[in-house]
Amino acid sequence: MVEKFYWADEIADQIIKKNPNKKQYVCASGITPSGTVHIGNFREVITTELVVRALKDKKKKARFIYSWDDYDRFRKIPEWLSKDYEKYIGMPVSEIPSPFDKNKSYARYFEEKFENSLSEVGIKADFVQQNIMNKKCKYSKLIKIGLDKRKEIMNILNKYRKEPLAKDWVPIVIYCEKCKKDFTKIISIKNYEIEYECVCGHKDKFDYRKKGLVSVKWRVDWPMRWKYEGVNFEPGGIDHSVQGGSFTTAKEISKQIFDWPAPVYVFYDWIKLKGGKEFASSTGNDITPKQVGEVYEPEVLRYLFVSQKPKTGFQISFDNDVIKIYEDYDALEKKYCEKKVNPREKRIYELSQVDKPKKKIVKKTSFRHLITLIQTNKKIPLNDKIRAEKVKNWLEKYAREDMKFEVQTKINVKLEKKEKLALLKLKNILKAGEHSEEELFNMFYEICKDVGISNTQFFQAVYRVIINKEKGPRLANLILTIGKDKIIKLLEQMK
């Protein structure tokens, strides 16, 4: 039995208590693919997936539904997109062409990219394209309930509005069959028959059980689909979670209109790029899970999210914090394999895994040491090939200049008298025999004391000689990684 030391396990218990006799629990999330589906959107996905895992760990059947709300209208042109796309405003995002792939729709292009990135971090879901569901008229019976109870829905929504809805408000919009846009006006609704006219001049009457031209407005669509799918859990962003927001009204509409108890709910806070703004597809500030995965191993990427509570905002780092994050993850893995973790740490490690957790420690080179190995052209152990690729990507795209270096074959810097004396002592120490990293590190301070040089000046001098920079990787490790013979040969060039 899973112990209750992790938020997802507590939510799983709430779901089971609320629906004790259900054979399969349904957890849902989704988004409108109006542009790149970024790492901020990933938070909702993994929040849902962690609850699904928690239910399964309790030996319960659980289904993860991820809805692509691709029957939503194309509302505005993102900053990165050609102004030519203005002609598609008002059409479903599933009906307009992708600017990047002529064989795919706008929506499907972004959907597939995100789906592929999820599989890389072990997330499996039943992806539902809402444009297909709507075109197949799957919600027609529930749409009729919403239309029949239009006034009751208006009363619920008006409680939280400053200005009441117009008297002729309806919870649906119609996409014109001719121009495919939603610039339509409903003339009449009789039973399942709707008559409408469009600004393009087209006018028609249709049965919405047979023609999928109806799109349900968001505040009604959300609870309607809870009923249709039998949803027991769904998270939502902080924007949906304020008092009077879409979750507040969805709860009431779900119960009063569709006779379905609102699912267990948790809100999640936003994440952003360290030193940057919150992610947004419309502005191009849209780092994707795939891009994050270029630097973070799948388990470490999961760990970033698993180690945080949903209600806690945090930042995605690409600077030197990457090294610390890898070190924290490696330390957790070591504790887990040595059975020294507390219950919460145990769950964080288990839920960070793409597959089943490791039982034995697999020898792994640290991210920090790989930075040195790669730049000194050393052979990379087979077990570290994947991590080494992440390090190479990090060095190429994100690392600060002080983390990049090239080992020198000649001394190209001027040295002061004390610096030369210190380096000669270093050469003699290296010639004297083998030393561990810790032993060598301690000897650096003995050299400084003997010569009367500051620690800072000594380290800077050694770095300048070896890599032509005043800072670099941990010096003792750098020297041992390059090889003392090469360092001795370099230092022998001093005159």
- By CB atoms closer than 10 A (0-12, 13-18, 19+), residue 339 is exposed
What percent of the chain clears pLDDT 90, i.e. is strictly above it?
87
The residues that bridge with 97 in the sheet, in sequence order, are 105
262 belongs to a structural domain: yes
Q: pLDDT digits over 353-396, tens only?
A: 999 887 787 889 999 999 999 999 999 999 999 999 999 999 99
Residues with Cβ within 8 Å of residue 24, at least 6 apart in sequence = 61, 62, 63
Q: Which domain holds residue 256?
A: 7-166+217-268
Q: Cα angle vertex 60, ends 58, 64, to 5°? A: 110
Quickly list DSSP for 396-452. HHT--GGG-----SS--S---HHHHHHHHHHHHHHHH----HHHHHHHHHHHHHHHT
Structure tokens at 160: 């939280």
pLDDT averaged over every residue in the chain:
94
CB crowding 274-305: b at 16 or more within 10 Å, else e: eeeeebbbbeebbbbbebbbbbbbbbbbbbbb
Phi, psi of 105 (to 5 degrees): -75, 165
For the entire predicted model, the pTM comes to: 0.91
Structure tokens at 264: 């267990």
Q: pLDDT digits over 169-179, tens only?
A: 999 999 999 99
Quickly list DSSP for 123-141. ---EEEEHHHHHHTTTTHH
76 belongs to a structural domain: yes
477 belongs to a structural domain: yes
Domain stops at, among 268, 301, 335? 268
Domain stops at, among 268, 302, 334? 268
449 belongs to a structural domain: yes
Residues with Cβ within 8 Å of residue 469, at least 6 apart in sequence = 401, 402, 405, 463
Quickly count: other Cβ atoms within 10 Å of residue 456's Cβ: 10
Amino acid at 226: W
Distance of alpha carbon 411 from alpha carbon 57, whole angstroms:
60
324 belongs to a structural domain: no
Q: Which range in 169-178, 268-277, 279-288 is most confidently predicted, on average pLDDT?
A: 169-178
Coil vs helix vs strand at 369: helix
Per-residue pLDDT, 402 = 81
Quickly list DSSP for 230-254. T--B--EETTTSSTTSHHHHHHHHH
Q: Compute the average pLDDT of residues 167-193.
A: 97
Per-residue pLDDT, 319 = 93
Q: Compute the average pLDDT of residues 439-448.
A: 95
Q: Compute the average pLDDT of residues 406-417.
A: 93
Alpha helices (runs of H) in 73-122, residue ranges in sequence order:
106-120
Q: For residue 254, what is the domain's CATH number?
A: 3.40.50.620
Tokens 């709430």: give the residue: 14
Q: Compute the average pLDDT of residues 333-360.
A: 93
Pick the closest to residue 292 from 316, 268, 314, 319 (CA basis).
Answer: 316
103 and 251 together in one domain: yes
First-to-last C-alpha distance (Å) of the chain: 70
Report the range of poorest mean pLDDT among 313-317, 326-330, 360-364, 463-467.
360-364
Tokens 């050694």: give the residue: 462
For residue 1, what pLDDT band results from cuts at 50, 70 and 90? very low
Strands 126-129 and 61-68: parallel
Per-residue pLDDT, 108 = 97
CB crowding 133-163: b at 16 or more within 10 Å, else e: bbbebbbbebbeebbebbeebbebbeeeeee
Q: For residue 425, what is the domain's CATH number?
A: 1.10.10.350
394 belongs to a structural domain: no
172 belongs to a structural domain: no
Specify the number of domains making up the chain: 2
- Give how far Cα 475 sits from Cα of 106, 263, 333, 420, 482, Å: 51, 56, 27, 17, 11
Residues with Cβ within 8 Å of residue 387, at least 6 apart in sequence = 297, 364, 365, 367, 370
Distance of alpha carbon 134 from alpha carbon 224, whole angstroms:
13
- By CB atoms closer than 10 A (0-12, 13-18, 19+), residue 233 is buried
Q: pLDDT digits over 29-74, tens only?
A: 999 999 989 898 999 999 999 999 999 999 999 999 999 999 999 9
426 belongs to a structural domain: yes
